[in-house]
Structure 1
Amino acid sequence: MPHFRIETNVPRSKIPADFVLKAVPVLAKALGKPEQYCVVSIIPDVPMSFGGTTDPCAVANLMSIGALGVEQNKKHAKILFELVEQELGIKNDRMYITFQDEPTGNVGFKGTTFHAIFG
């Protein structure tokens, strides 16, 4: 269900090979969701400028069914910005994260939607 997607100008060669594997448990714990449903993806080498420079930067989106909201997102932002800065070297003032709370009927899985799965 949860998907943390990062687009960045950081070159693929500078992305730790195990980044997505390290990020999944962090995401799962932050959201209180099972790791088996969490997805982390990173798209490197994106031509990108943030604030008029091409220093390392990113845009990210966190989609989840629930576990998002005004107060929750503050906690998620802290954890995710720390992860990205520590692992990718992108400073927290060089990235935006958008939070997307999707209804169960808008997320497909196993040939149906989570609305049908959850009943």
Structure 2
Amino acid sequence: MPHFRIETNLSKSKVPQDFVTKAIPVLAKALGKPEAYCVVSVIPDTIMSFGGSTEPCAIANLMSIGSLGVEQNKKHAKALFELVEKELGISNDRMYITFQDEPTGNVGFKGTTFHSIFG
């Protein structure tokens, strides 16, 4: 159920092919969630400017059912900013991450919602 989505002005050719598979264990560990539920997506080639510059930049969203909060998000931000900077070369001052804690009834899976699955 966790989804880390990154929109970036990097061209697709500059996004390493294995980025999403490298990101899954980082995301799962940070959130304490099974890798099997984690999703990472990158939307490259986005026309965007950050602070008036078109140097490499990104906007990201981390959605999860739980495991988010004021203190937890500091830990998540550290891990995810480090990953993006190392793997994509986007400086941590050229990206925002928004954190979205969804109720179980708002996330569908296997023809129902996690509310039904988790009880």
Place the TM-score, normalised by the shorter chain, in its bin. over 0.9
| Two-structure CA RMSD over aligned residues (Å) | 0.3
Letter in 2 for 1:58: A
Q: Secondary structure at the match of 1:67?
A: coil
The structural deviation recorded for 1:27 is 0.2
Q: Secondary structure at the match of 2:62?
A: strand
Looking at structure 2, the residues matched to 42 and 98 of structure 1 have their Cα atoms a distance apart, in angstroms, of: 15
Q: Secondary structure at the match of 1:71?
A: helix
Q: Secondary structure at the match of 1:117?
A: helix
Structure 1 stretches of 4+ with a deviation exceeding 6 A read none
The structural deviation recorded for 1:93 is 0.3
Query: Equivalent residue for 2:98?
Result: 98
Query: Equivalent residue for 1:61?
Result: 61
> Please, what TM-score do these two structures have when normalized by structure 2?
1.00
- Specify every segment of 5 or more residues in structure 2 that has no aligned partner in the other structure, as ranges: none
Query: What are the Cα deviations for residues 9-41 of structure 1, in whole angstroms up to 9, with x where unaligned?
Result: 000000000000000010000000000000000
- Specify every segment of 5 or more residues in structure 1 that has no aligned partner in the other structure, as ranges: none
Question: Identity rate of aligned residues, in percent?
Answer: 84
The structural deviation recorded for 1:44 is 0.2
Matched positions, count: 119
Q: Secondary structure at the match of 1:49?
A: coil
